[in-house]
Amino acid sequence: MGIERWLYAMPLRLRSLFRRKRVERELDDELAYHIERKTEELAVQGMTLEDAHRAALRAMDGLTQRKEECRDARRTNGIDNTIRDLRYSARVLAKSPGFTLVALATLALAIGANAVTFGVLNGMILRPLNVPQPETLYGIEHGNEHNMYESYPDYRDLRDRNRSFDGLAGYTIDQVGIEDGGNPSRAWVYLVTGNYFDVLRIRPHLGRVFHESDERGPNSAPYIVLAYTYWHTRFQDDRGVLGRVVRLDRHPFTIIGVAPPEFHGTLVFGSPDSSCRR
């Protein structure tokens, strides 16, 4: 539709919506005028006024149909039908309050189920992990249905023989008891290899993360990097937390950094409270 036609048609449609009675009255007057002119034309040709009037109506294909065509031309029929449907539905629901409550409850449950389903779909498929270039990440598992974990020597063997990937890091998740100077609590932690953050290309929000150079053996570099949310809630954004020693299952770990706010680990569900290198 050209801009000139749109500027002409839009005021007519708005007028049809907000001045409905006046527009309908004008439409009736216009159709009556055309029928009267057609009746006079046929009467001049020799018909009686009654026959001429009936013939004029037939020539118009019926007043009701002609009115609908005029409303369609203004493109307001769809809105009218929607309003009528809503009014009818409201009257029906008002007459059956019990049915209405059941219908609303069912609708609420359906919407909630759809929201949960979409959330799972979005988290697992649609939304990638919040790391640089997530499409280049692959997960490797080896074992059977009873044991899906690699040993640390197995990981080192895979890492040293790797020729297919830019880097290979290992991690597992566990729940531990944590003592940080306040009340002891439980926390979820990632137990990771020294190159974990390097492979993911994650930069710290505060302090530093550990690197492959921190990994000299299974018991080296007892460091911990806090998740941003845990640092915010447990330590109230205290920037002096760096260098503090906390105990995980009574083993000392030194806090060396805080992960960025957007990083929530490498699992779709369940954000860690910290990442540590034993």
In this predicted structure, what is the pLDDT of residue 15? 52
Predicted pLDDT of residue 30: 74
pLDDT of residue 224: 92
Check residue 62 and give its pLDDT: 61
pLDDT at 1: 47
Q: Which of 53-62, 90-99, 159-168, 223-232 has the highest mean pLDDT?
A: 223-232
Q: Region 234-259: what's the mean pLDDT?
A: 92
With bands split at pLDDT 50, 70 and 90, how would you rate the model's confidence at 8? Answer: very low
3-state secondary structure the chain: CCHHHHHHHHHHHHHHHHCHHHHHHHHHHHHHHHHHHHHHHHHHCCCCHHHHHHHHHHHCCCHHHHHHHHHHHHCCHHHHHHHHHHHHHHHHHHHCHHHHHHHHHHHHHHHHHHHHHHHHHHHHHHCCCCCCCHHHCCCCCCCECCECCCCHHHHHHHHHHCCCCCCCCCEEEEEEEEECCCCCEEEEEEEECCCHHHHHCCCCCEECCCCHHHCCCCCCCCEEEECHHHHHHHCCCCHHHCCCEEEECCEEEEEEEECCCCCCCCCCCCCCCEEEEC
pLDDT computed for residue 108 by the predictor: 86
Percent of the chain residues topping a pLDDT of 90: 16
Measured CA angle at 209 (ends 206, 210), to 5 deg: 155
Look at residue 231 in the predicted model and tell me its pLDDT.
93
- Answer whether 241's CB lies under 8 Å from 247's CB: no
**pLDDT number for residue 31:** 73
CA separation, residue 215 to residues 7, 147, 151, 250, 252 (Å): 72, 25, 16, 21, 17
Tokens of 6: 């749109």
pLDDT classification of 143: cutoffs 50, 70, 90: low
Q: For position 124, what pLDDT does the model report? A: 55
Q: What distance in Å separates the CA atoms of residue 262 and residue 101, rounded to the nearest whole number?
A: 42
The pLDDT value recorded for residue 7 is 44
Q: Percentage of the chain surpassing pLDDT 70?
A: 68
Q: Which one has a higher pLDDT value, 20 or 242? A: 242
Q: What is the pLDDT of residue 232?
A: 92
Sequence spans of domains, the chain: 3-95, 97-127, 134-277
* pTM greater than 0.75: no
Asked if residue 82 has pLDDT above 80, the reply is no
Higher pLDDT, 206 or 9: 206
Largest CA distance in the chain: 115
